[in-house]
Structure 1
């Protein structure tokens, strides 16, 4: 448990105890949650202060030129917002898009003309006249478009969400040890934005107050139970998106996750299956040279 990535925040409502404390740290490049409480309020406050003191000492060594007033705000942080929303999205974008791409190739081989196929303007000719010389040059680009454009492949599911600085994480249960997925929320300068409502073609949401987060790569769809919840989440997202990104956020790798690769992939969890107790997720941040700052979430098939 490295002090560098340690955080503590009081969570009496979530834990169900007035002296509840949530401790987070990085474990195998994933955020690990520990929920603790004590019947003696002073004891839990002492632990909280001890964590902050250890963090302060670490930051003094790591940033010898920084003043105490600069370091104190970094000792611990509270979450910007937490609560339930419904979410949807690809169960595994890599595998889903691979299957879609192969299906597109097979369809092109069987039919000389494919109309009404979903495609961007630059790829429409690939589907309408796949036999032309010009199309052959664009065929690979069109297949790549299909491969990299996630579609809604699962219904909406109610999940617990936590906004931790620029990381939006979701959990099946508020007290889960690991998040099932997370997405990095960048700034408006890098083409991130939040919209009220859902795309017209969206289906399966039980809650009617939709939110769409637009990233350079894809859209993330959510639904809130009440209009007040929707407004609070939108306000939170807008504050994050309107805030300029820090130099370390432009570095391309989240703290503690060195060696990230450019493409997302699904991996089995501990024990080699999808049903293990820990998170079966890897997150990759794409290169800053392409102004492509979107984390993607990949999850196990959910029960």
Structure 2
């Protein structure tokens, strides 16, 4: 047996092992590419994102390319589980982990955040503070309602009063949106920009939408995760006895994908559940406690499903 055939067989055996049998970055099944610099097995799509990383990252096909003994030994020593322990050690509970069919900008920035910026190793928490500090401010291109043109507007997001605001003039907010009903999803095709973000909220029980984008992928993903961080902070305040697994943005079932087909179109990204009770108030601001309401996580999910289906009626 030639060296190439032998090493190919070893790699094919490695990629069948638990952890290696799905893409290290998006979870796609049966990855047939690998980074011989990072020691991870990835799918074809994610291999393209890896090529955009530093020149030190080498990506090869486990079926078609030649692998020498040292590269194969490195893959055996590492693998997806080992890389996850290192590069995903400190992912915030609200941070969205993209899946196979999520937008390009989400998957690209997830890979850059993990391996290039190393935001989640535990050594670079200052990078997480950019979108998790409780206040985020910047300028986004916003689609105007009257003529459909995109105009640059100032936006602020704060979990001190749980609001998202945008301004036509810097001193006076054009809209003040409660984080309570706020959700966001990437919609590049609908918005006509690869970094297009759709922000949805309720205004007097009517669904409203903002269509925005930023020229930089990292910035729009920071906004997306800042919104999730603010929503998570709101839920932690409203339900102080719940643990992170109950309030995490990575909910088990995506009710929006299953039921939300309102005129804005189907959702394509996971989002935090909204609280549908119009009388809901965080316990720190006069609302009742978790135990007083006997509110469970399952009830929270059920109310969110009812809210989302209600938008279709």
TM-score between both structures, scaled by the size of structure 1: 0.30
Higher relative contact order (CA 8 A, sep 6+): 1
TM-score between both structures, scaled by the size of structure 2: 0.29
